[in-house]
Chain A
Amino acid sequence: AQKVTQAQTEISVVEKEDVTLDCVYETRDTTYYLFWYKQPPSGELVFLIRRNSFDEQNEISGRYSWNFQKSTSSFNFTITASQVVDSAVYFCALNTNAGKSTFGDGTTLTVKP
């Protein structure tokens, strides 16, 4: 069975602070994909990034960066110099079957001005 754990339920930071969202996953499959999605108040989940189980290269995209460590089954997401517009619920997800993704419970990020 697949499982995704986001231990942080809510995080509140002040604008320009850096913030890291944690994600730990469990799967017995050797081939899998990990994702981060952002859900703003409008409700629509927006895909942010994907990593496959064979690619542990970390990535930086603007203010966003991702750290994938297979040894600890973690896929953490960092926002540098946070902005108010980053306020949203962030979900980590695991996919081993294209038709079904397992989501964590989400982390609500509030960035205060």
Chain B
Amino acid sequence: KAGVTQTPRYLIKTRGQQVTLSCSPISGHRSVSWYQQTPGQGLQFLFEYFSETQRNKGNFPGRFSGRQFSNSRSEMNVSTLELGDSALYLCASSFRFWQGSTGELFFGEGSRLTVL
């Protein structure tokens, strides 16, 4: 069973640019969530998509956005990049509770973004 796939794995951008990260969930999983991991802030929840709709949102500015496609693949976008956006961005997929999930997340290896 293929795991969660994130692309690209590494990328370098400069301040002011924008970036798009992609996530393909485990087959059958319709919930995709995104987390930002930094040394200082730990793992912070960004947002969650289910059935192409954002269901939960963390405390991040509007520069952070996402979407989900009909095949459950998801993308997140960060516009007007700042130095503080340098982080490992992790995508996780799962079932939802009503689908029998008990909440465990299955993570990809992440996309490491460096902003110069």
| Interface residues in chain A, defined as those with a beta carbon under 8 Å from any beta carbon in chain B | 33, 35, 37, 42-47, 50, 52, 91, 93, 95, 97-106
Give me the 9 closest cross-chain CB pairs, A-B, nearest first: A95-B103, A99-B48, A103-B43, A45-B107, A33-B103, A98-B97, A105-B42, A44-B109, A98-B96
In the complex, the answer to whether A104 meets B103 with C-beta atoms within 8 Å is no
Within 8 A of A (CB), among B58-116: 58, 88, 90, 92, 94-97, 101-110, 112
Chain A residues near B35 (CB, 8 Å)? 103
Nearest chain A residue, comparing its CB with the CB of B58: A100
In the complex, the answer to whether B33 meets A42 with C-beta atoms within 8 Å is no
Q: How far is the CA of A105 from the CA of B90 in the complex (A)?
A: 15
Nearest chain A residue, comparing its CB with the CB of B99: A98
Given A43-B112, A91-B43, the answer on whether A100 and B106 have CB atoms closer than 8 Å is no
In the complex, the answer to whether B45 meets A101 with C-beta atoms within 8 Å is yes
In the complex, the answer to whether B104 meets A47 with C-beta atoms within 8 Å is yes
Contact of B56 among A50, A93, A97 (CB under 8 A): A97
Name 8 extra pairs, CB < 8 A, besides A97-B56, A100-B58, A103-B43.
A33-B103, A35-B103, A44-B108, A44-B109, A98-B96, A98-B101, A98-B103, A103-B35
- For chain A, what secondary structure do more than half of its interface residues adopt (helix, strand, loop), or is it mixed? strand
Given A43-B109, A44-B110, the answer on whether A100 and B104 have CB atoms closer than 8 Å is no
Contact of A99 among B50, B109, B112 (CB under 8 A): B50
B37-62 vs A, CB cutoff 8 Å, 1 = contact: the mask equals: 00000110100101000011010000
- For chain B, what secondary structure do more than half of its interface residues adopt (helix, strand, loop), or is it mixed? strand
Chain A residues near B33 (CB, 8 Å)? 99-101
Number of B interface residues in the complex (CB < 8 A): 29
Chain B residues near A45 (CB, 8 Å)? 90, 92, 105, 107
In the complex, the answer to whether A100 meets B56 with C-beta atoms within 8 Å is yes
Contact of A98 among B31, B88, B107, B110 (CB under 8 A): B31
